[in-house]
C-alpha cells in the first residue's frame, strides 16, 4: 500500500494530476471511495482486499469530468472499465494516470493504455465458486425454466436503480427507462416491469460489460445480475469472438456488423 | 391510554402467532432467506428471524408497498369508467418482531399520507395494521435511534412492545387500544407484572447529536459547500430512500393497453435526477449534491416545519444499503458541529 501512496503523493506534488481517485476507511470495517487533491490528503488513502467497488464509475461524474487530469487506483476491474470507456470515446489517455494493482493487491506502477491492455490479459476476470455453481445450474435449465428462474430472481427488485447507478458502463445521460413518450419500459416494479428493465439493461451491456460484478454488489435485494451479465459475455465471446475491457480500441459486437458474423441464431 | 404491563413466555407467544394466522390475520415478520433478512409472511414462530438487528428493507411496505394498483379505467365510446381499488377489503395485518425504529417510521408516513389530505388507501392499510415490536438487545455501527428521539426500547408507533428479559420470557407493554384488543382476546397467554426497568435488557447506544441541533443548523447552511463534500461519492441511486421506513415519495404510473388501463403508485426517490426534471428540460436540482441536501432538509427541516415531526428514525438502513458507504449519522454529526 505504501508504494501506491507514494505514487499518488508524487503525482499530486509534481502537478501531474489534480485529483487522485481511490479509497479511504469507511464505516466499521467498510471502505469507501475517496477523492484526494493534495499530497497531504493522501495519508488517508488505503488499498486492501475490501477495495472492490468499481470506482471507474466516478470517471463520468462531475468531479472527474471537471479535473484536467487525474489518477486512479485501479484493480483489474477498474483497468478493464477504463479501457472499455476509452474504446467508447468516454475518456482520453492523456487525462488519466492508471495506478495498476493486481488481484493480489500488488502495485505494478503507472500503466499507459498499451501497458493496461497487457495487464488486463494477465489478470483474468474472476468468478466466485458459488457464482460458477449458479451458472452451471442455470445452463442446465430448459429455455422455459431459465425464463421462470429470471422472473423469480428479478421479482424482489425495487427499481432503486443502484445497478445502473453503480455501473461504469451505464453512463447515458438519459436512460431508456426514463423515456416516457413513448414509454418503452414500465416504471412500476411489478413482475413485468422488473423483467423488462433488467432484460433491457442486460442487452445494452451485452458485449460491453467488463464483469466487475458491481451491479450485484450494489443491489440492496441481492439479485444475481452479475451472473446474467457474465453469461451474456460468455455468449458474445463464443458467438463473435469479442471480449470487452481488453483493448482501448474495440467495437462492441452488438454495435457492429462484419461479413463473418454468424447468422445461425436467426431461426 | 396508559401502558399496561404484562409478561408472556415464548411458548405462549408461539400460540399467539398461531391464533393470529388461524383467525385469518396475515402475520409479517423478519425472515432470513439466502443470508438476507426481510419482512415476509409467516405461519409459525419458527419462521421468524429474531437475531438480525435490522431487516434490509423496512416494514413500510406493509402500508406503502413498492408498487400498488390504485385504480383501473376503461375507455368507452364517449366516457371513461374509473374503478377505484376497494380499500375496505384489505386484510388484517400484524407486523411482528420489527424493531422500535420500524414502528416509529409509521408516524412520519402517517403524517405524509394522512395529514391535511387523506390518502384513503394508505389510511385503510394502516388502520388494519397492528404493530408488535421487539426491543433491541444489540445495535450496530449504523444504528443511531437515540440521536433522533428514539431508543432500543422506545414504544412510539408500536401497539405492543416486547422486551426479552430472560431466555424464556418477554416483558410486554400494551401501548394502544389495538394492542389492548389483542390482550383482551388472549388473556390466558399473558401474566400480570408490575412495571420493570428495561434498561439492563436493551442495547447501549450513545447519542451522537440531537435532531433539534440539526434542525437549527440547517437554517444557515443551505449554500454551504458541505453538501458537495458529503455527496461527492453518492452514486445517485434510490437505495437509501427505498429502504427508509420514513420516506414516502411516490410516482404515479399509468399502464394502458388498448381501451383499458391500470394506475399504479410506485416508490420514488429525491436522489434521482428525473425526480425534479421539468418538461422544459430545466432541473432545479441539477447536481447530486442538491439532491442529497434535499434529503437532509426534508427530514430535518421541512417535515419539522410542516408536520411538527422529524422524518428520520435512526435505523441506519440507508447507510447499510448505500453502495458507496454514505453514512447518514456521520454526515449529520458533521452538520451538528458546523
Cβ atoms within 10 A of the Cβ of A112, count? Answer: 13
DSSP H or E stretch at residue B132: strand B129-134
Cell of A262: 454468424
Nearest to B142 among A27, A57, A158 (CB): A27
Q: At what angle do helices A76-87 and A113-122 cross, to 10 degrees?
A: 130
Nearest to B327 among A27, A58, A214 (CB): A27
Identify the pLDDT of residue A253: 87
CB distance A32–B251 less than 8 Å? no
Q: Does B65 touch chain A (CB under 8 A)?
A: no
DSSP H or E stretch at residue A115: helix A113-122
**pLDDT tens-digit profile of B68-116?**
999 999 999 999 999 999 999 999 999 999 999 999 999 999 999 998 8
Cell of B50: 429474531
Q: What phi-psi label fits residue B39: left (phi over 0), alpha (psi between -120 and 50 degrees) or beta?
A: beta
**B261 within 8 A of B73, measured Cβ to Cβ:** yes
Q: Does B256 touch chain A (CB under 8 A)?
A: no
Reference A71, options A40, A94, A44; nearest CA is: A94
Q: Does A27 touch chain B (CB under 8 A)?
A: yes
Q: Does A220 touch chain B (CB under 8 A)?
A: yes
Residue B255 phi/psi, 5° resolution?
-120, 110
Tell me the shortest Cα–Cα distance from B5 to chain A, in angstroms.
38
Identify the pLDDT of residue A260: 80
- Residue B14: strand, helix, or coil: helix
**A195 within 8 A of A149, measured Cβ to Cβ:** no
Reported ipTM: 0.93
Q: Which residue has the cell 488481484?
A: A103
d(CA A150, CA A153): 5
d(CA B146, CA B143): 8
Q: Does A178 touch chain B (CB under 8 A)?
A: yes
Cα angle for residues B105, B36, B107 (degrees, 5° grid): 5
Nearest to B239 among A186, A189, A220 (CB): A220
Strand partners, A98: A72, A111
Q: Does A26 touch chain B (CB under 8 A)?
A: yes
Identify the pLDDT of residue A180: 81
**Residue/partner pairs of A239-243 with CB below 8 Å, 24 or more apart:** A239/A265, A240/A207, A242/A207
Residue B236, Cα to own-chain centre: how many angstroms?
A: 22
Identify the pLDDT of residue A173: 87
**B70-109 per-residue burial string, b: 16 or more CB within 10 A, e: under 16:** beeeeeeeeeeeeeebebeebeebbbbbbbbbbbbbbbbb
d(CA B244, CA B326): 14
Q: How many CB pairs under 8 A join A and B?
A: 96
Identify the pLDDT of residue B86: 94
**B55 within 8 A of B35, measured Cβ to Cβ:** no
Q: Which residue has the cell 445495535?
A: B139
Q: Which residue of A has its CA nearest to B255?
A: A186
Residues 189 through 218 of chain A touching chain B, CB cutoff 8 Å: 189-190, 193, 214, 217-218
User: In chain B, what residues touch A192 (CB-CB under 8 Å)?
Assistant: none
Q: Which residue of B has its CA nearest to A194?
A: B67
Total of domains in chain B: 1
Ranges in chain B, pLDDT < 50: none
**A175 within 8 A of A204, measured Cβ to Cβ:** no
Identify the pLDDT of residue A254: 85
Nearest to A35 among B232, B288, B319 (CB): B232
Q: Does B37 touch chain A (CB under 8 A)?
A: no
d(CA B320, CA A75): 24
Identify the pLDDT of residue A49: 93
Cell of B307: 408536520
Ranges in chain A, pLDDT < 70: 265
Reference A163, options A192, A202, A134, A191; nearest CA is: A202
Identify the pLDDT of residue A261: 80
**pLDDT tens-digit profile of B170-196?**
999 999 999 999 999 999 999 999 999
Q: Does B287 touch chain A (CB under 8 A)?
A: yes
Q: Does A34 touch chain B (CB under 8 A)?
A: yes
Order of strands, sheet of B80-84, starting from the edge strand that comes earlier in the sequence: B80-84, B67-75, B260-267, B250-257
Reference B95, options B160, B140, B168, B171; nearest CA is: B160
Mode of pairing for the β-strands spanning A107-111 and A19-25: unpaired
Amino acid at each position: 500500500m505504501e508504494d501506491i501512496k507514494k505514487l499518488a503523493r508524487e503525482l499530486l506534488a509534481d502537478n501531474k494530476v489534480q485529483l487522485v481517485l481511490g479509497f479511504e476507511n469507511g464505516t466499521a470495517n467498510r471502505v469507501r471511495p475517496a477523492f484526494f487533491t493534495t499530497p497531504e490528503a493522501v495519508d488517508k488513502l488505503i488499498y486492501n482486499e475490501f477495495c472492490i467497488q468499481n470506482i471507474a464509475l466516478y470517471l463520468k461524474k462531475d468531479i472527474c469530468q471537471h479535473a484536467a487530469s487525474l489518477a486512479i487506483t485501479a484493480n483489474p476491474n477498474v483497468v478493464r472499465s477504463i479501457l472499455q470507456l476509452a474504446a467508447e470515446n468516454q475518456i482520453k489517455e492523456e487525462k488519466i494516470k492508471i495506478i495498476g494493482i493486481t488481484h493480489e493487491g500488488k502495485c505494478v506502477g503507472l500503466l499507459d493504455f498499451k501497458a493496461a491492455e497487457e495487464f488486463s490479459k494477465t489478470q483474468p476476470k474472476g468468478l466466485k465458486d458459488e457464482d460458477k455453481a449458479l451458472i452451471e445450474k442455470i445452463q442446465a435449465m430448459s429455455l422455459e425454466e431459465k425464463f421462470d428462474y429470471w422472473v423469480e430472481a428479478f421479482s424482489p427488485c425495487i427499481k432503486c436503480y443502484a445497478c445502473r447507478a453503480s455501473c461504469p458502463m451505464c453512463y447515458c445521460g438519459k436512460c431508456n427507462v426514463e423515456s416516457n413518450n413513448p414509454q418503452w419500459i414500465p416504471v412500476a416494479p411489478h413482475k413485468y416491469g422488473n423483467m423488462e428493465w433488467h432484460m433491457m439493461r442486460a442487452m445494452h451491456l451485452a458485449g460491453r460489460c467488463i464483469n466487475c460484478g458491481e451491479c450485484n454488489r450494489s443491489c440492496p435485494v441481492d439479485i444475481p445480475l452479475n451472473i446474467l451479465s457474465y453469461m451474456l459475455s460468455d455468449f458474445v465471446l463464443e458467438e463473435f469472438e469479442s471480449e470487452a475491457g481488453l483493448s482501448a480500441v474495440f467495437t462492441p459486437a452488438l454495435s457492429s456488423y462484419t461479413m463473418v458474423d454468424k447468422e445461425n441464431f436467426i431461426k | 391510554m396508559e401502558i399496561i404491563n404484562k409478561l408472556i413466555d415464548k411458548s405462549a407467544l408461539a400460540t399467539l402467532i398461531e391464533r393470529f394466522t388461524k383467525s385469518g390475520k396475515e402475520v409479517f415478520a423478519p425472515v432470513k432467506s439466502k443470508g438476507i433478512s426481510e419482512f415476509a409472511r409467516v405461519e409459525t414462530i419458527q419462521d421468524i428471524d429474531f437475531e438480525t438487528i435490522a431487516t434490509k428493507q423496512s416494514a413500510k411496505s406493509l402500508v406503502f408497498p413498492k408498487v400498488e394498483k390504485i385504480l383501473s379505467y376503461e375507455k368507452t365510446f364517449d366516457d371513461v369508467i374509473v374503478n377505484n381499488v376497494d380499500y375496505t377489503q384489505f386484510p388484517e395485518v400484524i407486523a411482528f418482531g420489527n424493531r422500535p425504529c420500524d414502528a416509529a417510521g409509521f408516524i412520519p408516513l402517517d403524517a405524509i399520507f394522512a395529514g391535511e389530505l387523506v390518502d384513503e388507501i394508505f389510511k385503510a392499510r394502516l388502520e388494519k395494521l397492528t404493530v408488535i415490536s421487539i426491543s433491541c438487545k444489540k445495535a450496530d455501527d449504523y444504528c443511531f435511534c437515540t440521536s433522533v428521539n428514539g431508543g432500543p426500547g422506545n414504544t412510539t408507533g408500536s401497539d405492543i412492545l416486547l422486551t426479552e428479559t430472560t431466555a424464556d420470557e418477554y416483558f410486554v407493554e400494551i401501548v394502544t387500544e389495538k394492542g389492548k384488543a389483542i390482550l383482551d382476546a388472549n388473556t390466558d397467554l399473558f401474566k400480570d407484572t408490575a412495571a420493570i426497568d428495561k434498561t439492563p435488557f436493551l442495547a447501549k447506544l450513545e447519542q451522537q447529536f440531537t435532531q433539534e441541533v440539526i434542525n437549527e443548523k440547517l437554517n444557515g447552511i443551505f449554500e454551504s459547500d458541505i453538501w458537495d463534500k458529503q455527496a461527492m461519492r453518492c452514486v445517485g441511486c434510490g437505495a437509501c430512500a427505498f429502504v427508509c421506513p420514513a420516506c414516502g415519495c411516490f410516482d404515479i404510473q399509468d399502464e394502458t393497453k388498448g381501451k383499458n388501463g391500470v394506475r399504479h403508485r410506485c416508490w420514488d426517490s429525491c436522489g434521482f435526477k428525473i425526480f425534479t426534471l421539468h418538461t422544459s428540460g430545466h432541473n432545479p436540482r441539477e447536481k447530486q449534491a442538491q439532491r442529497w441536501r434535499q434529503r437532509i432538509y426534508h427530514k430535518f427541516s421541512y417535515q419539522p416545519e410542516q408536520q411538527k415531526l422529524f422524518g428520520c428514525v435512526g435505523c441506519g438502513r440507508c447507510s447499510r444499503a448505500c453502495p458507496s458507504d454514505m453514512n447518514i449519522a456521520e454526515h449529520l454529526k458533521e452538520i451538528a458541529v458546523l
